[in-house]
Amino acid sequence: MKFDTVIIGSGLAGLASGIRLAEAGKSCAIVSSGQSSLYFSSGSMDFLTRLPDGREVTHPLSALSELFRQAPNHPYSRIGEKNVVSLVYQAEKLIRESGLVMTGSASQNHYRVTPIGHQRMTWLSPARVPVRELERPFWWENVVVIGIAGFLDFHPGIVASALQRQGVKASAQEMHLPFLDKLRDNASEFRSVNIAHLLDRPENLPLIAEEISRLAQGHDAVFLPACIGLETDSIVEALQILVKKPIYLLPTLPPSLLGMRIYQALREQFRHLGGVMMVGDTVNGVEMADNHITGLYTRNHGDIPLRASHVILATGSFFSNGLKTTLDRVYEPLLDLDLLAYSAREQWTRKNVFAAQPYLKFGVTTDEYLRPLKSGQVVENLYAAGAVLGGYDPLAEGCGSGVSLLSALFVAEQIITGKRSTKQRIPEIA
């Protein structure tokens, strides 16, 4: 099987690069082992909320030059300011064109309400997530947070008390819906996705609306756990019309419906543009000659290699097995690529679990076109995108989705325009 580009991994990075390449008319396949971190994400996308020195960032685009000064190995620094600025708007466009309705902009972060009622800064949030602009108060005055009786992955009382501490009038309620009883027999079945399968049934809508209307009397907005609207938002829209009050969704513990919706929308857009998805398959062998990848072997295709002019490594970080460790070694499992990582085990972590952890910055090292190095040499037709890249901390710097989307679009652009660079060695992180 021959493609122009084979992408390994179907997280945010793999899908975004696939969409851009397919849109440009390139034949493209994505091979993906399984669920990506989108299934565990809040659904909100971070671009940059803190500098490496800990200072808060409210206006990400204005903070780029300081980021580049502090973190020359950060993927945004590799990509360069002019490219970051144009790619961030391209990313917002890609999201919109994939049918996702998100609020926010890279010129100014906003706050989203977290699953425990706190506020966290971010770049883009699904339109159903309660948010507030930087200098503005929440617009609602009297919120009811409604949980689902027996659902342990969301606690309305915790959310309501946190909102009250922030000056919002809020109360907690629980809805009792008899048609959910069949799930209650088994606690492991009583999870967001299974609940959504039942809440999404049109015949259940009047009952849900009646229960929410009863509990929401005297309140001006309703917060629900994101257990409704698995495929589309239309069921929540219909519910809102019946309840006659704005309805917002808060992320739950995984699986996260808000993240899954992003995955589904991007996957459909990729397929719609002619991309080939090989889900449930794993790249387990790479054939190389003269610093080029000449074939990829997968579990399902056995000894029939996938051939491609270009390969994108979008395998994620430790969470998705894009990076692995033994007790004393960090490594990239497919090609044993060069890493930005500390070799001494005691430098991987800090004792204070709340401190930024050095291992989160580990990842592959690249040239300025995001082509990884192997034993100091650029792999000429391989590009890296997303969480497999080193040099940044998605958690402490609040930049996980931004790096995935922008690096994906950046490497797609290299492939589309056919740029090549001289070989370059990047030093270990300080």
Ligand X SMILES: Cc1cc2nc3c(=O)[nH]c(=O)nc-3n(C[C@H](O)[C@H](O)[C@H](O)COP(=O)(O)OP(=O)(O)OC[C@H]3O[C@@H](n4cnc5c(N)ncnc54)[C@H](O)[C@@H]3O)c2cc1C
Binding stretches for ligand X (CB under 6 A): 8-14, 31-34, 36-38, 40-42, 44-46, 282-283, 314-316, 319-322, 334, 386-387, 394, 400-401, 404
104 or 386: CB nearest ligand X? 386
Q: In terms of C-beta density within 10 A (0-12 exposed, 13-18 middle, 19 or more buried), how is residue 208 classed?
A: buried
In angstroms, the CA 19 to CA 38 distance is 17
Beta bridge partners of residue 121, listed in sequence order = 111
Question: Amino acid identity of 375?
Answer: S
Shortest gap between Cβ of 3 and ligand X (angstroms)?
15
CA angle 105, 168, 239 (to 5 degrees): 70
Shortest gap between Cβ of 244 and ligand X (angstroms)?
31
Shortest gap between Cβ of 330 and ligand X (angstroms)?
15
Shortest gap between Cβ of 329 and ligand X (angstroms)?
18
238 or 348: CB nearest ligand X? 348
102 or 196: CB nearest ligand X? 102
172 or 412: CB nearest ligand X? 412
Shortest gap between Cβ of 95 and ligand X (angstroms)?
12
6 or 180: CB nearest ligand X? 6
Shortest gap between Cβ of 123 and ligand X (angstroms)?
8
24 or 396: CB nearest ligand X? 396
Place of tokens 């890279």: 106
245 or 307: CB nearest ligand X? 307
12 or 247: CB nearest ligand X? 12
Shortest gap between Cβ of 318 and ligand X (angstroms)?
8
Shortest gap between Cβ of 122 and ligand X (angstroms)?
7
Shortest gap between Cβ of 180 and ligand X (angstroms)?
27
Buried b / exposed e across 276-306, counting CB within 10 Å, b at 16+? bbbeebbbeebeeeebebebbbbeebeeebb
Shortest gap between Cβ of 5 and ligand X (angstroms)?
14
39 or 68: CB nearest ligand X? 39
Shortest gap between Cβ of 25 and ligand X (angstroms)?
23
Rg of the Cα atoms in the chain = 22
**Helix 400-417 with 12-23: angle, nearest 10 deg:** 30
132 or 169: CB nearest ligand X? 132
Neighbours of 4 (CB within 10 A): 17
Neighbours of 3 (CB within 10 A): 21
236 or 384: CB nearest ligand X? 384
Select from 294, 319, 293, 258 the least CA-distant residue to 9: 319
